[in-house]
Amino acid sequence: MSVVPDGDGPKASPAPGTVVACAEPRAGGAPMLTLKLRADFLRTAQARRQGVSGFLLQARDRQDGDGTIRVGYTASKKTGNAVTRNRAKRRLRALARQVIAERGRPGWDYVLVARPGATVTRDHADLLADLHEALTRVHGGGR
């Protein structure tokens, strides 16, 4: 599997099997990568999950010895039209850069699933609190 930096340069689609790195490196040193393969999304969906008001967080420990954090984003057609789905994914990416980059565990995959209406309309501060709560619960902070 190769890693393609997500910075300036040509905007060609990555080859199948590649993982695209986020523009901002993680403060702790381990890069935060974006999930692209359907199989990775499916494996994460079968692991831990925590629903909160603004979205659903799915998480799994890869146990592969790789210290990178990988994050995926999804918004189904139930979320709304293309503009609404893209807005929801942009908001989820912003949350991941702020929270998962700092509180995510190396070697874990995370998928943020948009909720119809809530992800786009909920206040950003509330979404941040939701993600903090979801990460705490996913990593064994109790219910």
Give pLDDT, residue 12. Answer: 52
Asked whether residue 3 is domain-assigned, the answer is no
Q: Give the count of domains, the chain.
A: 1
110 assigned to some structural domain: yes
pLDDT band at 4 (very low <50, low <70, confident <90, very high): very low
Q: pLDDT confidence of 30, banded at 50, 70, 90?
A: low
Burial of 103 (0-12, 13-18, 19+ CB in 10 A): middle
Angle (CA) 24-91-89 rounded to 5° is: 95
Residue 107's domain comprises: 38-138
Q: Cβ(75)–Cβ(54) under 8 Å?
A: no
Residue 67 lies in a domain: yes
C-beta separation of 142 from 103 below 8 A:
no
Instruction: For residue 73, tell me if it sits in a domain.
Output: yes
What is the pLDDT of the chain when averaged over all its residues? Answer: 83
Q: Within a domain: residue 28?
A: no
- Residues 68-101 pLDDT 10s: 999 999 999 999 999 999 999 999 999 999 999 8
8 against 63, higher pLDDT: 63
- The CATH number assigned to the domain holding 99 equals 3.30.230.10
What pLDDT is stored for residue 143 in this prediction? 52
- Taking 60 as the threshold, does the pLDDT of residue 10 lie above it? no
Check residue 27 and give its pLDDT: 52
> Is residue 12, in this structure, part of any structural domain at all?
no
Alpha-carbon distance of 34 to 57, in angstroms, equals 15
In degrees, rounded to 5, the angle at the alpha carbon of residue 114 between the alpha carbons of residues 109 and 115 is 135
Average pLDDT over residues 111-121: 94
Distances in Å between the Cα of 22 and the Cα atoms of 37, 48, 49, 71 are 16, 23, 23, 9
Cα angle vertex 124, ends 118, 130, to 5°? 70
Predicted confidence band at 28 (pLDDT cuts at 50, 70, 90)? Answer: low
* Position 16 in a domain: no
- For residue 70, is it within any domain? yes
What pLDDT does residue 66 have?
A: 86
* DSSP tag of 65: S
Residue of 107 and 14 predicted with greater confidence: 107
Is the per-residue pLDDT at 29 higher than 90?
no
